[in-house]
Amino acid sequence: MQTGFWWIILSIGIYAVIHSLLASHAAKRWVENRVGSGIYQRYYRLFFSLQAFILFLPILALIVLLPDLRIYRIPRPWVWLTIFIQLGALYLLINSIFQTGALRFTGFAQAFNINEATRSLPLVERGMYRFVRHPIYSCMFVIMWLMPIMSWNILAIAIGVSVYNVIGARLEERKLSQEFGQEYITYKKKTPFLIPWFKLSK
């Protein structure tokens, strides 16, 4: 295969390992013990967001720099429909981030306000969170899988990010269950995982 498919898959795998390690409780406790709880509470989330952004840039560069082959192109007029759906998903993604606190989500709120670093947030169940537990990931899936032009390199990043998002969402739910207890367990029972109105029967 004369593409960068497997190199991109490998790079996403390495990224996922680093990202998961830095998000783990063990890594957070290690950092907190080394720098102190004050510095950790104020700056770790910002550090986590910045490193996630910076480390993802080389993966995006691989899509452009490595050889690639086109799989398909969505023809007109259907391409306008897919772009419209993508823009809607992008809007819902940004809206979902703001519902959980955009500045807090990225870590800027904690870095510039110590009260934000220690303040507990309520469980968000409004907006898109009424329909799925992880709307940010759901919207990312829509954007990635409705690309007007699909190539092997784009397919690689779509597969890699999708798989990691599902795994990451499951790991995130363990933390949320510990943080919110029965409140999150109840929310989890009544709200679908990633697809609105679709719940796996147990």
Average pLDDT for runs of 10 along the chain of length 202: 88 93 89 90 91 94 94 94 96 91 81 69 87 94 95 95 91 86 91 84 51
Q: From its phi and psi, is residue 75 left (phi > 0), alpha (psi between -120 and 50) or beta? A: beta
pLDDT at 102: 76
Token pair in block for residue 24: 């783990």
CA distance 50 to 44: 10
For residue 201, the 8-state DSSP code is -
On whether the pTM is more than 0.75, the answer is yes
pLDDT at 112: 81
Residue pLDDT, tens place only, 121-158: 788 888 899 999 999 999 999 999 999 999 999 999 99
Q: What is the rounded radius of gyration, in angstroms, for the C-alpha atoms of the chain?
A: 19
CA distance 69 to 150: 9
For residue 151, the 8-state DSSP code is E
Amino acid at 168: G
